[in-house]
Amino acid sequence: MTSFSSIATRLEEQAIELPSWAFGNSGTRFKVFGTPGTPRTPEEKIADAAQVNKYTALSPTVALHIPWDKVDDYSALRRFAQDHGVDLGTVNSNTFQDDDYKFGSLTHVDPTIRQKAIDHHFECIDVMDQTGSRDLKIWLADGSNYPGQADIRGRQDRLADSLEQIYARLGEEQRMVLEYKFFEPAFYHMDVPDWGTSYAQVSALGERALVCLDTGHHAPGTNIEFIVMQLLRLGKLGSFDFNSRFYADDDLIVGAADPFQLFRILYEVVRGGGYGTDSGVAFMLDQCHNVEDKVPGQLRSVLNVQEMTARALLVDSDALTAAQDAGDVLGANGILMDAFYTDVRADLAAWRESRGLPADPMAAYAASGYQQKIAEERVGGVQAGWGA
């Protein structure tokens, strides 16, 4: 098996973007729980996200959601982020909360409503121009609940036209990533339900239109690492939204439900050339912290990704290929399992210390007093949350 020392430098290439909305209040379908110290402004969300990077050096950028993170001066917001040691990353659009979008946004049969949705994406691109962001991420709630409710083919045609207009507005260095989700909030059909639909739509646009894979957006039993492999093979994997699920789109801490699945995904990322500063594949979290504190929840998340990345890098690829070519079924499986079962926590702690980081970022954050500080200082105002 590959030694930890031989992969140490590769770990320095890891960057995991944090979602601003993970630091606001979120909940279940039944209740949103408020917590002391929850951010009230985009600036406070960014300040909290910067704490994660401070203790891990794993999360140098923060994704924005428009209009949840709308401000008057995005250049000033970028300077604020940089003053806190991070930068602004992906800009996420939102066409799922206005009443106008009850029956669709980019797929809507009414050209006025569809234009409103397109114009919102133009606004997001304007934000990207001010923040220096590379990626525009689109997730659509568009779909229908009943057979016959909508012309599902016509909606695909309108989606293609809408995306073409948005793509044409992008700058030369900017990209579009189209996310998919197999159900919810629509239950009969979603307009972008799977990687194949996303792939078909972005392939018609150009090389800077790519697929975003959310690990919680698949039917139970889906082989997600196969999708990762295929999109990398086709050159169309643009980004990840990492989270965990037990039943549906649970948005739990990544690696919490099935760490072996996370390992398998990251192995295919490494094997397919999707890891590293030159890969073009963006790692991002998309999670909601319902009962746990937000900053520790994001800390645990990036550390989980780092640990499984280290294990994936430990796979002896030459030995694995030889075993596969020889038809050595159990030998090949054993090589993969040896890497997965390797406990790299002590090695990662020493690796952090060698780079001036705390060996235990969770403990260091808890001892810093930051959580108590924000709880005391952030009194009054309206706490940020889902939809705000």
pLDDT of residue 298: 98
pLDDT tens by residue, the chain, 388 residues = 799 999 999 999 999 999 999 999 987 778 888 889 999 999 999 999 999 999 999 999 999 999 999 999 999 999 999 999 999 999 999 999 999 999 999 999 999 999 999 999 999 999 999 999 999 999 999 999 999 999 999 999 999 999 999 999 999 999 999 999 999 999 999 999 999 999 999 999 999 999 999 999 999 999 999 999 999 999 999 999 999 999 999 999 999 999 999 999 999 999 999 999 899 999 999 998 989 999 999 999 999 999 999 999 999 999 999 999 999 999 999 999 999 999 999 999 999 999 999 999 999 999 999 999 999 999 999 999 866 5
Single-letter amino acid code for the residue at 123:
E
Q: What is the pLDDT of residue 30?
A: 81
With H, G, I as helix, E, B as strand and everything else as coil, classify residue 3.
coil
**What radius of gyration do the chain's Cα atoms show?**
21
d(CA 24, CA 95): 19
- Residues 142 and 98: their CA atoms lie apart, in Å, by 12
pLDDT score at 373: 97
Structure tokens at 177: 């990533």
66 belongs to a structural domain: yes
Cα–Cα–Cα angle for 133, 137, 138, rounded to 5 degrees: 150
Q: Does residue 336 sit within a domain?
A: no
Residue 368 falls within a domain, yes or no? no
Task: Specify the pLDDT at position 268.
Answer: 98
Residue 349 lies in a domain: no
The CA distances from residue 280 to 115, 135, 307, 349, in Å, are 31, 11, 21, 28
CATH (domain of 67): 3.20.20.150
Q: Domain total for the chain?
A: 1
Q: Kindly state whether residue 379 falls inside one of the protein's structural domains.
A: no
The pLDDT of residue 93 is: 98
Asked whether residue 142 is domain-assigned, the answer is yes
Cα separation, 174 vs 157, whole angstroms:
24
If DSSP codes are grouped into helix, strand and coil, which group holds residue 188? coil
Residue 120 inside a domain? The answer is yes
Rounded Cα–Cα distance for residues 307 and 320 (Å): 21
Answer whether residue 343 is part of any domain. Answer: no
Q: Which domain holds residue 149?
A: 13-314
